[in-house]
Structure 1
Amino acid sequence: MIDRRRFLEGIGTAALTAGALVALASSGGLAGGLGLIGRAEAQTVDAAKLMAPGALPDQVLGKADAPVTIVEYASLTCGHCAHFHETTYPVLKEKYIDTGKVRFILREFPLDIVAKAGFMLARCGGEGKYYPLTDTLFETQKSWAFGNNPAQALLAIAKQSGMSEQQFNACLNDTKLAGQIDEVAKLGSQLGVDSTPTFFINGKKVSGAMSPADLDKELAPLLGN
């Protein structure tokens, strides 16, 4: 995990604006939201609270009337999250999302300022680019999250997605967006998220990176298999 000092040094190397530093540093990473995290007693949360409109609109994959809804709270710098998205998520998408059985929602729960910057870029990517960008960030996590210059690596990914350096700077300078991501994570903590990844499968809390077999086991009774 990269600490804030190291990330801010990287941002300077990437020639970001001073305003971008203010946007990320003044937001305090997730200091406010993470302070509320505590281990939840219940293993099932109220569906209305889970699906209530939040600070940012949910990015949804799958049919609106799918019988199962999976909400994942993840951090882009979380190795277990990357493992899930590399190994189990392709099975989830092909077998369940694309066939209309599951509606999937990824929500931001960044554990450090580097992950927060990555989520900000995904939100700034434009229509239809949220999941392509988060997929890329999970797939290439080792090259951007744990290198010597995460800001420069993120800039390269942003440019590959069609974003200019000016747009990149403006995105990381968006204090409103930074605060909205904090609010998404704060809701997660209130729902009992205390580690990543954490899933809510029709409201049932499931912690940890599920294997394809684990996923099948969770979904079978809900789909009548």
Structure 2
Amino acid sequence: MQITRRSALALVGTSVLAAPSLARAQNSSAPQTVAPPYTQRSLGSPKAPVTVQEYFSLTCTHCAQFATVTMPQVKKNLIDTGKVQFIYHDFPLDQVALKAAQVSRYLPEKQYYPFIEALFASQDDWAFKPNEDYHASIFKYAALAGMDQATFETAWNDDKLAQFILTGQQEAEKMYNISATPTFIINGKPYPGAMEYNDFAAAVASAAKG
């Protein structure tokens, strides 16, 4: 999705298909530690030889394609095997994506990936319907992930977190000249666009060779 030139900073002022994944995360017996919303959200070992950074928007259809088609293979073959550390960076293209990003960062770290996976799998349900009540539709998925109404409202109205996200977006745009979402930075090299698995794996293999 090509980035629009609307002022992102001005935003601060102004499907149930994925429910099983959220339920599994919510019902996990592992302790659910809520990390500060400003800390890194990532998958995989920091000792992995290849670091992949993804700049994404939760309302980007190309990001959803990568998340639902390619990412499961990436996670299984490259992240879970210790070859890749995958770091998420919010790059919201609109107000809805920004609010969804804020909410996602208020979840326990172990629920972050299942939650955004659910949102990507269900974009048509919560992001694009005419006259959609985005507040209610996003809360539906947050509740499935175990978030209560009070925490959701705090996340939704956290202007400091919104500014943190948008400042990071501006810095990334300047640093990497990002012009599309998703954009992947693989060991420092930018790859714009939703990559097919074979292309992604080839880029990772090339990065691992140095």
TM-score of the pair, normalised by structure 1: 0.74
Judge conservation of contact 1:30–1:111 (CA < 8 Å) in 2.
Answer: no
C-alpha offsets along residues 173-197 of structure 1, whole Å, 9 cap, x if unaligned?
Answer: 1111111111221121112112100
Does residue 109 in structure 1 map to residue 94 in structure 2? no
Equivalent in the alignment of 1:97: 79
Name which structure has the greater RCO, CA cutoff 8 Å, separation 6+. Answer: 1
Secondary structure of 1:163's aligned partner: coil
User: Which runs of 5 or more structure 1 residues have no equivalent in the other structure?
Assistant: 2-25, 32-54
Number of equivalent positions: 177
Per mean C-alpha deviation after superposition, the further-off stretch among 193-202 and 179-188 is 179-188
C-alpha offsets along residues 155-213 of structure 1, whole Å, 9 cap, x if unaligned?
Answer: 11111111122221111111111111112211211121121000100000000000012
CA distance in 2, matches of 1:151, 1:163: 14
Q: CA RMSD in A?
A: 2.1
Q: 1:142 aligns with which of 124, 128, 153?
A: 124
Judge conservation of contact 1:122–1:134 (CA < 8 Å) in 2.
Answer: yes
Q: 1:190 aligns with which of 171, 174, 196?
A: 174
1:127 to 1:136, Cα distance in 2 relative to 1, 3 A: same
Q: 2:146 aligns with which of 157, 162, 169?
A: 162
Judge conservation of contact 2:12–2:162 (CA < 8 Å) in 1.
Answer: no
Larger Cα Rg: Structure 1 or Structure 2?
1
Judge conservation of contact 2:41–2:87 (CA < 8 Å) in 1.
Answer: yes
C-alpha offsets along residues 81-114 of structure 1, whole Å, 9 cap, x if unaligned?
Answer: 0000011111111010000000100100000000
Seq. identity, %: 38
TM-score of the pair, normalised by structure 2: 0.79
User: Which runs of 5 or more structure 2 residues have no equivalent in the other structure?
Assistant: 2-7, 14-36
